[in-house]
Amino acid sequence: MEFKDYYQIMGVKRDATQDEIKRAYRKLARKYHPDVSKEPDAEAKFKEVGEAYEVLKDPEKRAAYDQLGANWKAGQDFRPPPGWDQGFEFHGGGFTGADAAGFSDFFESLFGRGFARGGRVHTEFHARGEDIHARVLIDLEDAYRGATRALTLKHTELGADGRPRVKERTLNVRIPKGVHQGQHIRLAGQGGAGVGKGEAGDLYLEVEFRPHPFYHVEGRDVFLDLPVAPWEAALGATVQAPTPTGPVDLKIPAGSAAGRKLRLKGRGIPGKPPGDFYAVLQIALPPAETEAARAAYRDFEKALPFNPRARLGV
């Protein structure tokens, strides 16, 4: 079935107050009332306006409808979420507004068949709050040891006047040890507030690492571009290398070339299994900024005839 944009039908904005909605309804009801209107589709328009008003005039039904409205647009095929209409309780008693007997299948799918066909019942609506998705930025080191981070969230709720308002809240979020980039942390009950007696939704935090000056991450593996001097790569050496858990002594094998990866098994992001840590060798050339340095390079050139482009055939 087609999604109905009740705000568009009423000609009001999504943040309209209850008074603005009421005035819009009175104006449209006069315009399309079948007894006085000369519009060719007056009766259908009158029922459509009445249906929209029945939802938007009630803060609970409006809040429930707004949960869907953020994800649906007029003209789209609509199917209510599983179990959506199980949140209604029916009670005897009348209501004011348009005749509910002519309400659409869309209305029925949201608020139940008893309401749309009974004509003289009203509902108390209970719906689970929407799940909220957000990102949390952490340092790579937080993934090694765990951490607690303060996270400020903004959410919208209806005020006493029926107008949506933005509120802020701050949560202290525990970052578990071993979390990896792209992982989702679920905080039960910290999502959108429920409607009526409905429980709150959940908050899902997607983990993202801040850019690091030394390391980059692939899954649980951590990589470091490690500069070494030409003689360290050629002759072999033991050098100190930083890691997220502290410096380590790293043995450079003789004859190492640029781009060689030295693996420290299990020293990546903790997990089952843990990732690995890789030092990727980069040959760093001393600058030739002094006459002594230039002379050393000339002596080196004479001592070791070497064509770095030999494999290219030139």
For residues 121 and 13, membership in a common domain is answered with yes
Position 89 confidence tier, pLDDT thresholds 50, 70, 90 = very low
**What's the pLDDT at 196?**
66
pLDDT for the residue numbered 87: 46
pLDDT at residue 310 in the model: 87
Query: Which pLDDT score is estimated for 93?
Result: 36
Helix 42-56 to helix 59-69 angle, to the nearest 10 degrees? 100
Residue 33 lies in a domain: yes
* pLDDT tens profile 234-263: 999 999 999 999 999 999 999 999 999 999
Model confidence over 140-171: pLDDT tens digits? Answer: 999 999 999 888 887 666 666 656 677 788 88
Mean pLDDT of 112-138: 63
The residue among 66, 94, 125 that closes a domain is 125
User: Is position 312 within any domain?
Assistant: no
Residue 298, pLDDT above cutoff 90 = yes
- Is pLDDT of 110 > 80? no
Average pLDDT value for the chain: 81
Same domain, yes or no, for 17 and 92? Answer: yes
Q: Which of 8-12, 96-100, 292-296, 299-303 has the lowest mean pLDDT?
A: 96-100
**CA neighbor of 197 nearest in space, from 115, 123, 117:** 123
User: Is 266 found in the same domain as 247?
Assistant: yes
pLDDT of residue 311: 84
- Whether 32 and 121 share a structural domain: yes
Looking at 80-89, 101-110, 153-162, 180-189, which range is the least confident one? 80-89
Burial string for 200-236 (b: 16+ CB within 10 Å, else e) reads bbbbbbebebeeeeebebeebbbbbebebeeebbbee
Digit-coded pLDDT (tens) for 72-84: 554 455 555 555 4
Q: Are 211 and 230 in contact (CB under 8 A)?
A: no
φ/ψ of residue 67, rounded to 5: -65, -35
What is the 3 state secondary structure string of the chain?
CECCCHHHHHCCCCCCCHHHHHHHHHHHHHHHCCCCCCCCCHHHHHHHHHHHHHHHCCHHHHHHHHHHHCCCCCCCECCCCCCHHHHEEEEECCCCCCCHHHCCHHHHHHHCHHHHHHCCEEEEECECCCCEEEEEEECHHHHHHCEEEEEEEEEEEECCCCCEEEEEEEEEEEECCCCCCCCEEEECCCCCCCECCCCCCCEEEEEEECCCCCEEEECCEEEEEEEECHHHHHHCEEEEECCCCCCEEEEECCCCCCCCEEEECCCCCCCCCCCCEEEEEEECCCCCCCHHHHHHHHHHHHHCCCCCCHHHCC
Q: Is 233 a residue whose pLDDT tops 90? A: yes
pLDDT band at 280 (very low <50, low <70, confident <90, very high): very high
Establish if 146 belongs to a structural domain. yes
d(CA 220, CA 275): 4
- Assign residue 57 the CATH number of its domain: 1.10.287.110
**Number of domains comprising the chain:** 3
Assigned domain for 314 exists: no
Q: Integer distance in angstroms from the first to the last C-alpha of the chain?
A: 71
Rounded-to-10 torsion of CA 208, 210, 215, 221: -10
Where among 125, 158, 185 does a domain terminate? 125
pLDDT for position 11: 93
Kindly compute the dihedral angle of the four CA atoms of residues 25, 31, 33, 38, in this order, to the nearest 10 degrees. Answer: -160
Percent of the chain with pLDDT over 90: 41
Per the CB < 8 A criterion, the answer to whether 127 and 195 are in contact is: yes
Residue type, 201: G
* Domain encompassing residue 257: 215-303
138 and 47 share one domain: no
User: What is the band of 222 on the pLDDT scale with cuts at 50, 70, 90?
Assistant: very high
For residues 153 and 250, state if they share a domain: no
Confidence of residue 177 (pLDDT cuts 50, 70, 90): very high
The model's pLDDT over 48-61, given as tens digits with 9 standing for 90+, comes to: 898 888 888 887 77
My answer on whether 241 and 143 are in the same domain is: no
Q: Assess if residue 310 is contained within a domain.
A: no
Domain ends where: 61, 96, 125?
Answer: 125
- 308 domain-assigned: no
CA triple 68-73-77, angle to 5 deg: 90
Task: Write the CA distances from 223 to 142, 229, 268, 279, integer angstroms.
Answer: 16, 19, 9, 6
Query: Do 13 and 121 sit in the same domain of this protein?
Result: yes
Q: Are 89 and 40 in contact (CB under 8 A)?
A: no
- Pair (193, 245) in one structural domain: no
Are 226 and 181 in the same domain?
A: no
Q: Which of 99, 72, 57 is nearest to 2 (CA)?
A: 72
Structure tokens at 303: 């001592």
pTM passes above 0.85: no
80 and 120 inside one domain: yes
Within-domain flag for 64: yes
CATH number of the domain within which 223 lies: 2.60.260.20
Same domain, 138 and 162: yes
Nearest to 155 by CA among 140, 141, 165, 147: 165
pLDDT tens-digit series, residues 14-36: 888 888 999 999 999 888 888 88
Residues written for the chain: 314
Quick one: pLDDT band at residue 68, thresholds 50, 70, 90? low
Residue 92 lies in a domain: yes
